[in-house]
Structures are given as structure tokens and as C-alpha cells.
Amino acid sequence: MRRFLNGDSYDTSAGTPRRIWDRLSLNSRWYFVYGYANEVVKARALAVKGIYDTKAWVESSYNIFRLIEGCGGRIHLRGLDNIRACKGPTAFISNHMSTLETFVFPCIIAPHMEVTFVVKESLVKHPVFGPVMRARNPIVVGRTNAREDFQKVMSEGKRLLADGTSLIIFPQSTRTVEFIPEEFNSLGIKLARAAGVQVLPIAIRTDFWGNGKVLKDLGPVDRSAPIHMTFGEPFFVEGSGKEEHKRVVEFVSEHVSSWGVPVRV
């Protein structure tokens, strides 16, 4: 499979031009929304036909990656070698700020290993995006019964990891532009411990793509906000996992605060 990113880090070139239609949109979100929607519609058509495989998913993700850069986004990635260093299927644990990471993570991670998400039920039932998400065989949680969600992630997660599919987990209950350690649950650590797989922490700042007031996925675009993603070193969980959970929380807290993201103490 084609790999778009080489080396341990990546930075959008300072000379990357904005697309002409984005410049003509007078700094609004609309060209970006058009490009994003167009990519989703193409992906949906493939998914409905049953041919939206990992390769197609990675291509769609990279097209969104390039769209972001073409609309003034400046992407800074660190720790890419840590993804390559994973020993088998891995539990990727990340904070969650916007729709951006959901679309960009595949072209960063999936060229190296099969991967899917733990997602809320509304995503797989969405009339447009639903077929795309279902094609990637995610773990679906309802977010209404925490006990049932926990049991489902543990059972289906262990099965997927045993079959060689890594998981991307957002422990926060919802997207937020600030980081609240108390709301960052330990589900990913518990799953990795039970499955005997590594954990790889991810810290992100993705408020370039804001959350909309009416339609959350169609929020404003802030071209002044840099996009940061740092991938930590993978590690196995030992003992109860309490120290490892603390390690992930501290990793996220330290990085996002260095990027200017508020951390609620």
C-alpha cells in the first residue's frame, strides 16, 4: 500500500499555496466544506458497492489531508517512527477535538497496519457517512449505557486485536477544545491490558476545523490555528494499568498545553 508520509516528522511546507477557489471564498469555510463533502460522497459510493477497502480509505484520508493544506491548514506531525515500531496490533489512545482527526488518522496509521475506530452509534447511522464508517468495521457504542459500552468494547476489541486489527480510541465522551483529564477514561488501557497488546498515546490539536453549532461536522475553519499531532512511544500495560493511564494523560496534557490548548486542572 502506498505510504504518503516518510520519516519521523512532517511539516506542511511554508510555500504550500492555497487553492484558488479557497482564496476566492474570502476565508469562509465553504470551499473546504465542498471538498470534504465531495470526498465523502465518493467514498460512500464505493462503500455502497462493497469496494471501500483499506486502500480506498487511505486514499480518501490523504485527499482530505491535502484539502486541509490547500485551504490554509498547516500540519505538524511528530513521532511517526513510533507507529512503525509497534509490535503487532495496537490500541491508539488520543484526545478528541474535532472531525479532522477522524479523517486524517487513516492515511497516517492504516498504511502500516489494519486499523479501525471505536465510534458512537450516530456515525454508523448517518445517511451519508454511515456506509463509509460501516465499511471499516468499527466498534459501535451507544453512549447511553456505560456498562454495556464497556463490555462491548472489551469483547469486540479483544476479538479485533486478536485478528490483527488495531483500534483508535477516544476516551473523552465528546469532542472538546480543552483537555479535561478527569473526563479521559481508562478504557483503552483496560482493553490493551486484557488483550495483551501495546498502547500508543496520541496528543492532538485540531481546532483548525471547528465544531458547528447546528451540524457539528460542518463547523468553521480557523486558518490561523496550527494542526499538531504527536505519536508517543508504544508500550505494554503491566500490573493494574493505573500508572499507564496516568502516563497517557500526562503525555496528552503536556503536549496540548505546549500548543496553547487549555488543560482543566
Within a domain: residue 23? yes
Q: Residue 184: its pLDDT value, please?
A: 96
The domain total for the chain is 1
pLDDT beneath 70: ranges in the chain: 1-2, 213-217
**What's residue 190's pLDDT?**
97
Residue 1 lies in a domain: no
Confidence (pLDDT) at 3: 75
pLDDT at 87: 95
In a domain, 103, yes or no: yes
Q: How many of the other CB atoms lie within 10 Å of CB of 121?
A: 13
pTM: 0.95
pLDDT score at 90 = 98
- Coil, strand, or helix at residue 84? helix
User: Which residues are CB-neighbours of 115 under 8 A, at least 6 positions away?
Assistant: 92, 105, 106, 109, 165, 166, 167, 168
Sign, CA torsion 197/201/207/212: positive
Whether residue 2 lies inside any domain: the answer is no
In a domain, 159, yes or no: yes
Residue 264 falls inside a structural domain: no
Which residues form the domain of 244?
9-258
- The answer to whether residue 175 sits within a structural domain is yes
Q: Could you tell me if residue 265 is inside a domain?
A: no
Question: Where do the H-state alpha helices sit in the chain?
Answer: 20-24, 30-48, 54-70, 80-84, 100-109, 121-125, 130-135, 146-162, 187-195, 242-258
